[in-house]
Structure 1
Amino acid sequence: MARRDFGIGELSRRSGVNIETVRYYEKIALLPPPPRTEGGHRLYPDDYAKRLTFIRRGRELGFTLDEIRNLLGLVEGGHSCGEVREAALAHVEDIRRKIADLRRMEKLLSETAARCAGGAAPACPIIGALGSAS
Protein backbone atom coordinates (compact mmCIF):
# COMPACT_ATOMS: atom_id res chain seq x y z
CA MET A 1 0.00 0.00 0.00
CA ALA A 2 1.43 3.36 -1.02
CA ARG A 3 2.06 5.97 1.62
CA ARG A 4 -0.28 8.93 1.34
CA ASP A 5 0.67 12.21 2.91
CA PHE A 6 -1.85 14.96 3.61
CA GLY A 7 -2.00 18.53 4.87
CA ILE A 8 -2.66 19.80 8.36
CA GLY A 9 -6.39 20.35 7.71
CA GLU A 10 -6.87 16.73 6.71
CA LEU A 11 -4.74 15.61 9.68
CA SER A 12 -6.97 17.67 11.97
CA ARG A 13 -10.10 16.11 10.48
CA ARG A 14 -8.78 12.54 10.69
CA SER A 15 -7.53 12.83 14.27
CA GLY A 16 -10.17 15.13 15.74
CA VAL A 17 -7.45 17.51 16.94
CA ASN A 18 -7.67 21.26 16.26
CA ILE A 19 -5.09 22.65 13.80
CA GLU A 20 -3.63 25.03 16.40
CA THR A 21 -3.31 22.13 18.83
CA VAL A 22 -1.42 20.13 16.19
CA ARG A 23 1.02 23.01 15.84
CA TYR A 24 1.35 23.27 19.61
CA TYR A 25 2.11 19.54 19.91
CA GLU A 26 4.81 20.00 17.28
CA LYS A 27 6.21 22.98 19.20
CA ILE A 28 6.49 20.99 22.45
CA ALA A 29 7.85 17.94 20.57
CA LEU A 30 4.93 15.67 21.42
CA LEU A 31 4.51 15.31 17.69
CA PRO A 32 7.69 15.10 15.60
CA PRO A 33 8.20 17.74 12.93
CA PRO A 34 6.62 16.49 9.70
CA PRO A 35 8.28 16.40 6.33
CA ARG A 36 7.76 19.57 4.31
CA THR A 37 7.35 20.34 0.66
CA GLU A 38 9.86 22.55 -1.13
CA GLY A 39 7.41 25.38 -0.48
CA GLY A 40 7.50 24.70 3.27
CA HIS A 41 4.05 23.12 3.61
CA ARG A 42 3.73 20.31 6.14
CA LEU A 43 2.90 16.88 4.75
CA TYR A 44 1.73 14.35 7.32
CA PRO A 45 1.95 10.57 6.85
CA ASP A 46 -0.87 8.35 8.15
CA ASP A 47 0.97 7.49 11.36
CA TYR A 48 0.70 11.12 12.51
CA ALA A 49 -3.10 10.80 12.60
CA LYS A 50 -2.77 7.64 14.71
CA ARG A 51 -0.38 9.37 17.10
CA LEU A 52 -2.66 12.40 17.41
CA THR A 53 -5.66 10.19 18.04
CA PHE A 54 -3.68 8.47 20.81
CA ILE A 55 -2.82 11.86 22.32
CA ARG A 56 -6.41 13.12 22.03
CA ARG A 57 -7.82 9.99 23.67
CA GLY A 58 -5.21 10.26 26.42
CA ARG A 59 -6.26 13.86 27.07
CA GLU A 60 -9.93 12.80 27.13
CA LEU A 61 -9.02 10.25 29.82
CA GLY A 62 -7.37 13.00 31.86
CA PHE A 63 -3.71 12.22 31.24
CA THR A 64 -1.41 15.24 31.34
CA LEU A 65 0.81 15.96 28.36
CA ASP A 66 3.81 14.72 30.35
CA GLU A 67 1.99 11.48 31.17
CA ILE A 68 1.10 11.06 27.49
CA ARG A 69 4.72 11.71 26.55
CA ASN A 70 5.70 8.96 29.00
CA LEU A 71 3.10 6.56 27.56
CA LEU A 72 4.29 7.28 24.03
CA GLY A 73 7.85 6.59 25.18
CA LEU A 74 6.75 3.27 26.63
CA VAL A 75 4.91 2.34 23.44
CA GLU A 76 7.70 3.43 21.10
CA GLY A 77 10.44 2.03 23.31
CA GLY A 78 8.99 -1.46 23.16
CA HIS A 79 8.28 -1.59 26.88
CA SER A 80 6.05 -4.24 28.33
CA CYS A 81 2.32 -4.03 28.74
CA GLY A 82 2.98 -4.28 32.48
CA GLU A 83 4.78 -0.93 32.46
CA VAL A 84 1.91 0.68 30.57
CA ARG A 85 -0.50 -0.91 33.06
CA GLU A 86 1.46 0.57 35.99
CA ALA A 87 1.23 4.04 34.43
CA ALA A 88 -2.52 3.60 33.86
CA LEU A 89 -3.11 2.41 37.44
CA ALA A 90 -1.14 5.36 38.82
CA HIS A 91 -3.45 7.60 36.77
CA VAL A 92 -6.51 5.81 38.17
CA GLU A 93 -5.29 6.58 41.70
CA ASP A 94 -4.85 10.23 40.75
CA ILE A 95 -8.42 10.28 39.39
CA ARG A 96 -9.72 8.76 42.62
CA ARG A 97 -7.96 11.47 44.66
CA LYS A 98 -9.48 14.15 42.46
CA ILE A 99 -12.95 12.62 42.81
CA ALA A 100 -12.58 12.60 46.61
CA ASP A 101 -11.48 16.25 46.52
CA LEU A 102 -14.44 17.16 44.32
CA ARG A 103 -16.85 15.39 46.66
CA ARG A 104 -15.43 17.35 49.63
CA MET A 105 -15.76 20.59 47.68
CA GLU A 106 -19.32 19.74 46.67
CA LYS A 107 -20.29 18.99 50.27
CA LEU A 108 -18.71 22.17 51.62
CA LEU A 109 -20.24 24.39 48.97
CA SER A 110 -23.69 22.76 49.27
CA GLU A 111 -23.66 23.14 53.06
CA THR A 112 -22.51 26.75 52.79
CA ALA A 113 -25.11 27.59 50.15
CA ALA A 114 -27.83 26.01 52.30
CA ARG A 115 -26.99 28.51 55.09
CA CYS A 116 -27.41 31.44 52.70
CA ALA A 117 -30.67 33.29 53.16
CA GLY A 118 -30.12 35.52 50.14
CA GLY A 119 -29.71 38.63 52.29
CA ALA A 120 -27.05 41.34 52.31
CA ALA A 121 -23.55 40.57 51.02
CA PRO A 122 -21.66 41.28 54.29
CA ALA A 123 -23.68 38.54 56.04
CA CYS A 124 -23.42 36.04 53.17
CA PRO A 125 -21.98 32.69 54.35
CA ILE A 126 -20.71 31.88 50.84
CA ILE A 127 -18.63 35.06 50.67
CA GLY A 128 -17.50 34.43 54.24
CA ALA A 129 -16.38 30.89 53.38
CA LEU A 130 -14.52 32.07 50.30
CA GLY A 131 -12.78 34.79 52.31
CA SER A 132 -11.71 32.58 55.22
CA ALA A 133 -8.21 31.11 55.49
CA SER A 134 -9.36 27.54 56.24
Structure 2
Amino acid sequence: MRPFLIFGFSIFFVYGLSACSDSAPSSSMVQFLVTNKSTKKINRLTIFLEEKDTTKTRLVDSVFITNIPDNLPIRLTYDINKNSSTGNYKLVALGTVKKWNIDFGKFSEKTDTDSDHLYNLEILEDSVSVIP
Protein backbone atom coordinates (compact mmCIF):
# COMPACT_ATOMS: atom_id res chain seq x y z
CA MET A 1 0.00 0.00 0.00
CA ARG A 2 2.82 2.40 0.87
CA PRO A 3 4.53 2.17 -2.58
CA PHE A 4 1.17 2.89 -4.20
CA LEU A 5 0.74 6.05 -2.10
CA ILE A 6 4.28 7.22 -2.90
CA PHE A 7 3.69 6.58 -6.62
CA GLY A 8 0.36 8.44 -6.51
CA PHE A 9 1.88 11.38 -4.66
CA SER A 10 4.78 11.53 -7.15
CA ILE A 11 2.39 11.65 -10.13
CA PHE A 12 0.30 14.33 -8.41
CA PHE A 13 3.44 16.36 -7.60
CA VAL A 14 4.75 16.21 -11.19
CA TYR A 15 1.31 17.17 -12.54
CA GLY A 16 1.21 20.14 -10.14
CA LEU A 17 4.62 21.36 -11.27
CA SER A 18 3.71 21.08 -14.94
CA ALA A 19 0.49 23.03 -14.35
CA CYS A 20 2.51 25.90 -12.91
CA SER A 21 4.61 26.16 -16.05
CA ASP A 22 1.61 26.74 -18.34
CA SER A 23 1.69 30.49 -17.76
CA ALA A 24 3.04 32.87 -20.38
CA PRO A 25 6.80 33.33 -20.33
CA SER A 26 7.99 36.39 -18.46
CA SER A 27 10.21 37.32 -21.40
CA SER A 28 7.14 38.65 -23.20
CA MET A 29 6.58 41.37 -20.59
CA VAL A 30 8.62 44.54 -21.03
CA GLN A 31 8.93 46.40 -17.72
CA PHE A 32 9.47 50.11 -17.24
CA LEU A 33 10.57 51.15 -13.72
CA VAL A 34 10.16 54.92 -13.44
CA THR A 35 11.16 57.03 -10.43
CA ASN A 36 10.30 60.72 -10.01
CA LYS A 37 13.45 62.26 -8.50
CA SER A 38 12.45 65.82 -9.35
CA THR A 39 10.82 68.25 -6.94
CA LYS A 40 7.89 68.73 -9.34
CA LYS A 41 4.68 66.75 -9.09
CA ILE A 42 3.92 64.52 -12.08
CA ASN A 43 0.24 64.16 -12.92
CA ARG A 44 0.49 61.68 -15.80
CA LEU A 45 3.22 59.40 -17.08
CA THR A 46 2.88 57.63 -20.42
CA ILE A 47 5.16 55.23 -22.26
CA PHE A 48 4.40 55.28 -25.98
CA LEU A 49 5.39 52.70 -28.56
CA GLU A 50 6.05 54.68 -31.73
CA GLU A 51 6.79 53.69 -35.28
CA LYS A 52 8.76 56.37 -37.15
CA ASP A 53 9.79 56.90 -40.74
CA THR A 54 11.16 59.92 -42.57
CA THR A 55 7.80 61.67 -42.94
CA LYS A 56 5.63 60.70 -39.98
CA THR A 57 5.36 59.12 -36.55
CA ARG A 58 2.63 56.59 -35.84
CA LEU A 59 1.49 55.63 -32.33
CA VAL A 60 1.44 51.85 -31.97
CA ASP A 61 0.33 51.49 -28.34
CA SER A 62 0.83 53.01 -24.89
CA VAL A 63 0.73 52.36 -21.16
CA PHE A 64 0.15 55.08 -18.58
CA ILE A 65 -0.35 55.90 -14.93
CA THR A 66 -1.56 59.04 -13.15
CA ASN A 67 -0.39 60.82 -9.99
CA ILE A 68 3.21 59.61 -9.67
CA PRO A 69 4.55 59.66 -6.09
CA ASP A 70 7.97 61.19 -5.38
CA ASN A 71 10.99 58.86 -5.07
CA LEU A 72 8.92 55.70 -5.36
CA PRO A 73 9.56 53.47 -8.38
CA ILE A 74 6.47 52.85 -10.48
CA ARG A 75 6.33 49.73 -12.64
CA LEU A 76 4.54 49.81 -15.97
CA THR A 77 4.43 46.62 -18.03
CA TYR A 78 3.68 45.92 -21.66
CA ASP A 79 3.13 42.55 -23.32
CA ILE A 80 5.42 42.70 -26.35
CA ASN A 81 3.55 39.74 -27.90
CA LYS A 82 0.71 42.17 -28.74
CA ASN A 83 3.06 44.11 -30.99
CA SER A 84 3.60 43.69 -34.74
CA SER A 85 5.52 46.90 -35.52
CA THR A 86 9.09 48.18 -35.37
CA GLY A 87 9.98 51.38 -33.54
CA ASN A 88 11.09 52.90 -30.27
CA TYR A 89 9.74 53.72 -26.82
CA LYS A 90 9.01 57.29 -25.74
CA LEU A 91 8.40 58.48 -22.18
CA VAL A 92 6.23 61.55 -21.71
CA ALA A 93 5.65 62.86 -18.18
CA LEU A 94 3.33 65.80 -17.57
CA GLY A 95 3.81 67.80 -14.41
CA THR A 96 2.03 70.83 -13.02
CA VAL A 97 4.60 73.22 -14.54
CA LYS A 98 6.90 71.03 -16.63
CA LYS A 99 6.90 68.36 -19.33
CA TRP A 100 9.58 65.69 -19.74
CA ASN A 101 10.07 63.44 -22.76
CA ILE A 102 12.73 61.09 -24.04
CA ASP A 103 13.06 58.45 -26.74
CA PHE A 104 14.73 55.27 -25.49
CA GLY A 105 14.92 51.59 -26.36
CA LYS A 106 13.83 49.87 -29.55
CA PHE A 107 11.50 47.05 -30.41
CA SER A 108 10.91 44.98 -33.50
CA GLU A 109 7.67 43.04 -33.68
CA LYS A 110 7.63 40.63 -30.75
CA THR A 111 11.22 41.26 -29.65
CA ASP A 112 12.78 43.97 -27.54
CA THR A 113 16.40 45.13 -27.90
CA ASP A 114 17.02 45.02 -24.14
CA SER A 115 17.95 41.45 -23.24
CA ASP A 116 16.28 41.49 -19.81
CA HIS A 117 13.24 43.53 -20.99
CA LEU A 118 13.71 45.99 -18.14
CA TYR A 119 14.13 49.76 -18.47
CA ASN A 120 15.02 51.79 -15.38
CA LEU A 121 14.24 55.49 -15.85
CA GLU A 122 14.70 58.41 -13.46
CA ILE A 123 12.92 61.71 -13.96
CA LEU A 124 15.27 64.47 -12.81
CA GLU A 125 14.69 68.24 -12.60
CA ASP A 126 15.52 69.00 -16.24
CA SER A 127 15.97 65.62 -17.89
CA VAL A 128 15.19 61.93 -17.89
CA SER A 129 18.02 59.45 -17.44
CA VAL A 130 17.97 55.83 -18.58
CA ILE A 131 19.95 53.74 -16.11
CA PRO A 132 21.59 50.61 -17.56
Superposition TM-score tier, normalisation by shorter sequence: under 0.3
User: Structure 1-normalised TM-score?
Assistant: 0.25
- Structure having the higher Rg: 1
Name the structure with the higher helix share.
Answer: 1
User: Structure 2-normalised TM-score?
Assistant: 0.25
